[in-house]
Amino acid sequence: MTAHPPAAAPGGRGRSRRVVAPFAAVSVLISAAALTGCGQQRDAGAYTVMNSSTDESYHRWDAEAMARCGKQLGVTIEQQSVPAAQVMTKALRMASSKSLPDIVQFDASEMPTFADAGGLTDLRTLGLSTRDIPEGIVNFGSYQGTYYGAARSVNTLALFYNKDVLDEAGLPVPTTWAELRETAKKLTQGKRYGVALSAGGAEDGVFQFTPFMWSNGGDETRLDSPQVVAALDYWKSLLKDGSLSKSTVSWTQADVNDQFMAGNAAMMINGPWQVETLNTKKSLHWGIARIPVPKAGDASVGPLGGAVLTVPNTGDEQRERTAARIVACLSGEREQLTYALNSWMVPANEKAAAVWRKRVPELDALADQVAAARSRTAKLGAGWSSVSLALQSAFQSALTGQSSQAALTRAQQRATSGN
């Protein structure tokens, strides 16, 4: 670095020019290339949908649905799939470079953030109807009273159980917390735990905690309430009994499913998107039931999950209208049923759901659970992410030794301070 070779010193005039010119050319080329990246011409007949269908089967199902809708509407629809965790940040970046796709499929818990930033268009003014869609699911796709997102299917959590293991032990499917605790204790044998659930430090864990929190009358607006503390204490009791693996704090929902399939857990809390994988193991006979409630007669309230199709605010009304028609087709009764049957999720449309119930009677419990399910962002909207982070930290602390009350009191402080 310090020693400077006298390279260019004896060079003649012509030579130095010859040297400088290529560098100048390269600099010009680089800046030109950087600038052309900004402008982008949209093709009138081609529409883009950004979603998180990175799984081979989901990508294929979506591609087929888009091909059908494209044919019907006389446009070509291109699918662009990015990992679920990147949909939001990618969409934001696209917004700042004015290159948003025509349709974005957001996870419903993320939609309010994008809507709050002014990034979405009201689907009703674009001509979308909400007829045949239950109020709960319209709210699921709405933010501050405006309908921004059309759900194709919804999901929630349920109790999955290994039929063979329960039959062998002669135990009924638990319906209350006390029964679940007792059953799990009895089914814990050798390497097998009674129950598996995800208390991982991400949205997965929070999703799984909500049915326990809500069914007990707790609420995300007051994390340190006695109801929430009792729900967390219930989780702790499962751990204390040894019916729940200590690894639960590091498991995602997919890990939980792996444990259940490997026979390391007799029951699990999970969602219908795992059914596709569960069915690959022919020797596994599983059943599904509503998540147990604190006391007999309590309502089992699960979290409503799923994605919604939205039309980003691009300022091009003509395109937005066509995009809305694509959304209408993809979330229409026929496509919903096809998608729901493929993915094992519950159709959002009432008529489609009725047909679906007849076609998949084994998932009846799930349809009931969905009907009573609640959206995570209904009360907090865009504020959900801070509460979710505080809650993750709280149940992880509590499950690894801290008292539930102390952990949740701190979580509430963290959530209100906005950290």
Query: Residue 264 is which amino acid?
Result: N
Q: Which of 375, 387, 390 is nearest to 111 (CA)?
A: 375
Rounded-to-integer distance, Cα 247 and Cα 196, Å? 9
25 binds another protein (CB under 8 A): yes
The first and second tokens of residue 189, run together, are: 């044998």
Note every long-range contact of 96-99, with CB atoms under 8 Å and residues 24 or more positions apart, other chains counting.
97/38, 98/314, 99/40
Look at the block and give the residue holding tokens 């999703």: 207
Q: What is the nearest approach in angstroms of another protein to the Cβ of residue 116?
A: 7
5 binds another protein (CB under 8 A): no
380 binds another protein (CB under 8 A): no
| Region of 54-62, 218-226, 257-265, 341-349 interacting with another protein (CB under 8 A) | 257-265
For 179, counting Cβ atoms within 10 Å of its Cβ (0-12 exposed, 13-18 middle, 19+ buried), the class is middle
Rounded-to-integer distance, Cα 337 and Cα 275, Å? 17
89 binds another protein (CB under 8 A): yes
Of 14, 39, 74, 170, which one interacts with another protein (CB under 8 A)?
14
For another protein, the closer of residues 8 and 38 by Cβ is: 8
| Region of 173-181, 197-205, 212-220, 266-274 interacting with another protein (CB under 8 A) | 197-205
Of 99, 385, 405, 409, which one interacts with another protein (CB under 8 A)?
385
28 binds another protein (CB under 8 A): yes
Q: Which of 237, 300, 204 is nearest to 229 (CA)?
A: 237
Of 70, 101, 119, 174, which one interacts with another protein (CB under 8 A)?
119
Q: What is the nearest approach in angstroms of another protein to the Cβ of residue 105?
A: 17
HSE of 86, CA atoms in CB hemisphere, 13 A: 11
Interface mask (CB under 8 A) for another protein, residues 311-330, using x and -?
--x-----------------
Do residues 346 and 141 lie in contact, with contact meaning Cβ atoms separated by under 8 Å?
Answer: no
The first and second tokens of residue 31, run together, are: 């800046």
DSSP class of residue 189? B
User: Pairing mode, if any, of strands 158-162 and 265-270?
Assistant: antiparallel
389 binds another protein (CB under 8 A): yes
247 binds another protein (CB under 8 A): yes
Q: What is the nearest approach in angstroms of another protein to the Cβ of residue 20?
A: 4
Q: What is the nearest approach in angstroms of another protein to the Cβ of residue 263?
A: 11
Query: Residue 397 is which amino acid?
Result: S
54 binds another protein (CB under 8 A): no
200 binds another protein (CB under 8 A): yes
Rounded-to-integer distance, Cα 419 and Cα 415, Å? 6
24 binds another protein (CB under 8 A): yes
All residues at 6 or more sequence positions from 130 whose CB lies less than 8 Å from its CB, including other chains? 124, 138, 147
For another protein, the closer of residues 160 and 193 by Cβ is: 193
| Region of 8-16, 72-80, 128-136, 302-310 interacting with another protein (CB under 8 A) | 8-16
Of 237, 402, 403, 409, which one interacts with another protein (CB under 8 A)?
402
| Region of 145-153, 178-186, 302-310, 392-400 interacting with another protein (CB under 8 A) | 392-400
Of 42, 60, 71, 93, which one interacts with another protein (CB under 8 A)?
93
403 binds another protein (CB under 8 A): no
Rounded-to-integer distance, Cα 302 and Cα 268, Å? 15
Of 99, 130, 237, 250, which one interacts with another protein (CB under 8 A)?
250
For another protein, the closer of residues 121 and 153 by Cβ is: 121
Helix (H) or strand (E) holding 226: helix 226-241
122 binds another protein (CB under 8 A): no
Please list the residues that pair with 270 across neighbouring strands: 158
Q: Which of 112, 103, 97 is nearest to 81 (CA)?
A: 103
Cα 22 to Cα 16, 25, 68, distances in angstroms: 11, 5, 52
Q: Which of 375, 305, 279, 354 is nearest to 157 (CA)?
A: 305
338 binds another protein (CB under 8 A): no
Q: Which residues contact another protein (rule: CB under 8 A)?
A: 2, 8-9, 11, 13-14, 16-28, 30, 34, 85, 88-89, 92-93, 95-96, 113-114, 116-119, 191, 193, 200-202, 245-250, 259, 262, 264, 313, 385-386, 389, 392-393, 396-397, 399-402, 417-419
